[in-house]
Amino acid sequence: MRQLSDIEIIQSVKKGNTADFSLLIDRYKDRAFSMLRRLLKNEMDAEEALQDSFLKAFNGLKDFRQDAKFSTWFYKITYNTAMTVLGSKKRKAEETWSSIDEEFDLGSYDNEIYAQAESSRDYIFRIVDKLPIRHALVTILFYVDGLSLNEISQVMGTSLVNTKVLLHRSRNSLRELLLKHNYQEELK
């Protein structure tokens, strides 16, 4: 059975088949929730933001241009919702709004995470959650959601060059930590 494309589902919803929107929810809810949980560091906030994001997407479907990708458009809504939640709660505001040129240091989390990690993989998964918000977001969208750097720059409203800088800086800082613990020896 052929899988319905996002655009086909959107066309059906626009024709009045509201129930078909549940297909889009099922398709994107886990990835969007993962992203929100990592950005907001709180499950309840993440669920609330996820509801807001889907509601905004449903209400905005009439404005959705069908030459765009739904995933990029929806992740942009999700990202903006997360930023609003963070801004309104003034939580980690300096991380949220800091310049992308600003240096960051994961060293302060390193000892604790290294002590808990059972393998290099476990260590990487834990330390990614400690990346500054925009660095974490680029990394997740690139590696987990498979978005291109161009699409990520549209989601975040940053230039392509800056998006690339964020991704490279994330990789470089993670690499330095792996080298510190000699984890690269696990790679054959």
Residues in touch with another protein (CB under 8 A): 1-4, 9, 18-19, 21-23, 25-27, 29-34, 37, 43, 47, 50-51, 54-55, 58-59, 120-121, 124-125, 128, 139-140, 143-144, 167-168, 171-172, 174-175, 178-179, 183-187
Residue closer to another protein by CB (options 37, 76) is 37
Q: What angle (nearest 5°) sits at the alpha carbon of residue 175, between those of residues 170 and 178?
A: 130
What b/e sequence results for 108-135 when a residue is b if at least 16 CB atoms lie within 10 Å of its CB, and e otherwise? eebeebeeebeebeebeeebbebbbbbb
Residues 6+ positions from 44 with CB-CB distance below 8 Å: none
Residue closer to another protein by CB (options 16, 90) is 16
CB distance 75 to 141 below 8 Å? yes
Residue closer to another protein by CB (options 59, 108) is 59
Least separation, in Å, of the C-beta of 65 and another protein?
21
Residue closer to another protein by CB (options 5, 97) is 5
Least separation, in Å, of the C-beta of 175 and another protein?
5
